[in-house]
Structure 1
């Protein structure tokens, strides 16, 4: 039986991954592209957006969410079968890391799993549904104790585990990284990539509005002012728009004057230099 799941791999080379993530560093688009090309050079790689991992939707098939930070890198993907996380995968050695943490949560099922690799050796791996343990390698870690004691979920009775495997997997992630990977935690900025050949999404560029001349805006402002009595105030929205346009036009005019002065000064200095050079003649 297979268990489709969202799998997140954390490649850690620092004793303080929480400190790195809490600074909310930006993700480099080139990092993920190089990583995917290394895993499978045949993939057509298309960036599909940048967003926080902890507040994003589930990646689709042929999609990867990736980021590389100093000492911490992360890859999230959709896997058709995550029932045995301790088994070899090209992703486990995709990046050099002293520790690799793998977190899996089921799609449309109660599956949950987590694994900790120290180098190439699996230290702990647990994969299960509420009623079926698929993999249980290594000794339970201290953070697991409340779950095995039945303190984190209502008891289902029978052969059911005293906890939800998904909850235990997310607890392992918080414990190993030292920070909440969720909406209440820091934003973990990643870049999304597709490898199914889709075109890169087009983003329409907004054109800056044309700036009118000072005379044009001032004359229109004066015309509107004539329509009101001296003791009346012009409507706020209209007067506000006119003042804003007048300010924009003034700034643009100042820039044009500055460019003109610089050009005339350069011409004057060139002519003066030429006269000095030929003065002895």
Structure 2
């Protein structure tokens, strides 16, 4: 779909996936193997680790992968089909897992957002949904219990003041609907900030990937900014030190001038001068 932000796939073989991924260190080698399974014939260069919450943007030629006991998670900017049932097999079962969950969405625009989700149980597509605010692209399987509040209008899309409402508008925002699916499937305690993933650049063999060049440029820019901040801090510290020295010199000069000044004779009062007292 145009403007697609990212798709996230969960490959699950455990009854408590949220516990399996919470705070666990990702297996970089297993994550690389999964990235290569999804991109046959290419190489994968590890760019670093980040949490699922931080991996909100995935550039072309990149993939974010986490492999844990019984769970694997993939976030990609690949243009996966807007009809989930047409997803190719090697994206559905790359690990031979029992359950595969898909969640895709696009950024919100004036016309709303697009969202899609799907669940495969083995080879069977149990549930699939894909829609724009006014058009259902695919609706396979029975709606699940967690979907009820959306269909009941408890999560309405925010109306746009400069776009006339369409009478066929769905009672929810499709992107928000899709984003709610992972918690319903994997557990309400699923915390994206505690799930650590590996980011890879996928590229032909022998080619320096664009993602690596971008990352090197970002690191150079970050180093330049840090050096500028360090130099500015040093200048501020030198200026403050000079100010302290100037203040200390001024105070010392004031004390020296006060000590060197001759003592002025005490002036007799008018009463003392008249009556000869105070000598």
Query: What's the TM-score bracket when you normalise by the shorter of the two chains?
Result: 0.5 to 0.7
Q: Taking structure 1 as reference, are residues 57 and 168 closer, same or farther at Cα in structure 2, changes over 3 Å only? A: closer
Where do 1:1-281 residues align within 5 Å? 4-22=4-22, 24-89=23-88, 90-107=90-107, 109=109, 110-154=113-157, 158-179=167-188, 185-196=192-203, 197-198=207-208
Mapped to 2, the partners of 1:60 and 1:186 lie a distance apart of: 20
**Contact 1:104/1:112 (8 A) holds in 2:** yes
Higher-Rg member (1/2)? 2
Q: Taking structure 1 as reference, are residues 194 and 18 closer, same or farther at Cα in structure 2, changes over 3 Å only? A: same
Cα deviations across residues 185-205 of structure 1 (Å, max 9, x unaligned)? 54110000011343656789x
| TM-score, length-scaled by structure 2 | 0.66
Task: Report the alpha carbon displacement of residue 51 of structure 1 after superposing the two structures with TM.
Answer: 0.7
> Unpaired runs of 5+ in structure 2?
160-164, 221-279
Mapped to 2, the partners of 1:180 and 1:166 lie a distance apart of: 21
> Unpaired runs of 5+ in structure 1?
205-281
**Contact 1:116/1:122 (8 A) holds in 2:** yes
**Contact 1:130/1:165 (8 A) holds in 2:** yes
User: What is the total number of aligned residue pairs between the two structures?
Assistant: 201
Mapped to 1, the partners of 2:138 and 2:125 lie a distance apart of: 12
Task: Report the alpha carbon displacement of residue 180 of structure 1 after superposing the two structures with TM.
Answer: 5.2
Cα deviations across residues 184-226 of structure 1 (Å, max 9, x unaligned)? x54110000011343656789xxxxxxxxxxxxxxxxxxxxxx
Q: Taking structure 1 as reference, are residues 150 and 29 closer, same or farther at Cα in structure 2, changes over 3 Å only? A: same
Mapped to 1, the partners of 2:201 and 2:188 lie a distance apart of: 28
**Contact 1:12/1:72 (8 A) holds in 2:** yes
Cα deviations across residues 37-71 of structure 1 (Å, max 9, x unaligned)? 33334212111111101222311111100011111
Task: Report the alpha carbon displacement of residue 159 of structure 1 after superposing the two structures with TM.
Answer: 0.6
Q: Taking structure 1 as reference, are residues 125 and 39 closer, same or farther at Cα in structure 2, changes over 3 Å only? A: same
Cα deviations across residues 2-51 of structure 1 (Å, max 9, x unaligned)? 673411100010111122133x1011211122122333342121111111
**Contact 1:5/1:81 (8 A) holds in 2:** no
Q: Taking structure 1 as reference, are residues 81 and 37 closer, same or farther at Cα in structure 2, changes over 3 Å only? A: closer
Compute the RMSD of aligned alpha carbons. Answer: 2.3
